[in-house]
Structure 1
């Protein structure tokens, strides 16, 4: 039956694709490089800035190569290049293009930190900084991450006026609701006490028997008429 043969071929292709995906998935997810959550950072002219870079590998690493590169619309250059022998050793630097740059990270104790410190910033340092890692243990698999540095003459202060107004309004509303709830409970308490007091008065009034007390409104004891 022709349709059965076509169906079998389609199933074989599907299984082959699935198995290939399973084989490639660990490799694709093994080596990762990160420069943090911020894609853009700002720094003052003349100050210093730490450019973060960390990496992770599920399979470990040997003779791992790493480098930082800088580029803008006109220039591309390698800033720093080094090698890490294994997980028990620190990076060994092979190239530092600028004496303002120092490697601040360590790869011992599973830190896997390749961050660099850039000092005496200038406006010309504005641009993209890429941290790239290559691991021979994973068939020279490479991965990189990029962060954009903007050098400015002053850091803009964030105006939090609107935020403070919103917080004040929300706080006022919450405080008003709490006050209303407390007032409601107080009124309920007063009403309850008032009802209890009235009930006690009614019970006390109905329990008093003044017929023999000689009090006003009581019935006087009737005496038989005196015989003459």
Structure 2
């Protein structure tokens, strides 16, 4: 049974359309706004100090009226800390609001930065901070990133004993190896010198023996060549 040509043509058209849509959706998702709280999204800080809670945004097609906010996770309840609207790249946020004491907005527009600064932190400030962004230029696509703050009474002292031991062992091994190589090269040098001196002495001795033999044989020949005295 043959399939009608118009059905085959419709199938081809549908497949091509699906492929194009998939490619467009893939490109679109790759261009979505992205919020980032750094390669190490956590910090352990001393009680009473001032800390920076970092966050930056990025978009492949740029931003337009980017809305961002910060939330703090208070035992499962999300409490809004700050929010604002960035009209375009490099412009300071409009309608910027900070809802929490001891918190300042320190974002830098040129660096796509929307970070916060918390003064005189306490144990109540410990927890998760969520940085959220929504870009209308990308059909309202949004993204969020989390940063964890850990507040401690005193910073831990790192025990470097094992590191020092390992470094000492490695350093001692390298030093021993270098010493061995120096001694080995010195011994080889001494042996070579002794061998050369021995060879020279053998050459001198051999030359002296040859001259002595020649002298003795010469005297004998002369003695033999003397005429025999005549008898009277």
Equivalent-residue separation in structure 2 for 1:221 and 1:187 (angstroms): 49
TM-score normalised by length of structure 2: 0.81
Equivalent-residue separation in structure 1 for 2:78 and 2:188 (angstroms): 76
Q: How does 1:52-91 map to 2 (within 5 A)?
A: 52-91=54-93
Task: Name whichever of 46-55 and 87-96 sits farther off.
Answer: 87-96
Deviations 1:171-213 (A, max 9, x none): 2222222222332222222222222222222222223343389
Assess, with a 3 A threshold, how the Cα gap between structure 1 residues 204 and 91 changes in structure 2: closer, same or farther. Answer: farther
Match for 2:47 among 45, 48, 57?
Answer: 45
Q: Which residue of 1 aligns with 2:6?
A: none
RMSD (Å), alpha carbons: 3.0
Q: How does 1:1-228 map to 2 (within 5 A)?
A: 18-30=19-31, 31-108=33-110, 111-208=111-208, 209-211=210-212, 221-222=219-220, 223=223, 224=226, 227=229
Equivalent-residue separation in structure 2 for 1:188 and 1:21 (angstroms): 74
1:79 shift after superposition: 0.7
C-alpha contact (below 8 Å) 1:91/1:106 kept by paired residues: no
SS at match of 2:212: coil
C-alpha contact (below 8 Å) 1:133/1:142 kept by paired residues: yes
C-alpha contact (below 8 Å) 1:105/1:114 kept by paired residues: yes
Assess, with a 3 A threshold, how the Cα gap between structure 1 residues 157 and 204 changes in structure 2: closer, same or farther. Answer: same
5+ unaligned residues in a row in structure 1: which ranges?
A: none
SS at match of 2:164: helix
Deviations 1:92-118 (A, max 9, x none): 35210124111222122xx11111111
C-alpha contact (below 8 Å) 1:45/1:153 kept by paired residues: yes
Equivalent-residue separation in structure 2 for 1:12 and 1:176 (angstroms): 76
SS at match of 1:174: helix
1:165 shift after superposition: 1.2
Assess, with a 3 A threshold, how the Cα gap between structure 1 residues 119 and 177 changes in structure 2: closer, same or farther. Answer: same
Equivalent pairs, count: 221
1:145 shift after superposition: 0.7
SS at match of 2:71: strand
Structure whose residues are more often helix by fraction:
2
Equivalent-residue separation in structure 2 for 1:63 and 1:178 (angstroms): 66
C-alpha contact (below 8 Å) 1:211/1:220 kept by paired residues: no
TM-score normalised by length of structure 1: 0.82
Assess, with a 3 A threshold, how the Cα gap between structure 1 residues 14 and 180 changes in structure 2: closer, same or farther. Answer: farther
SS at match of 2:121: coil
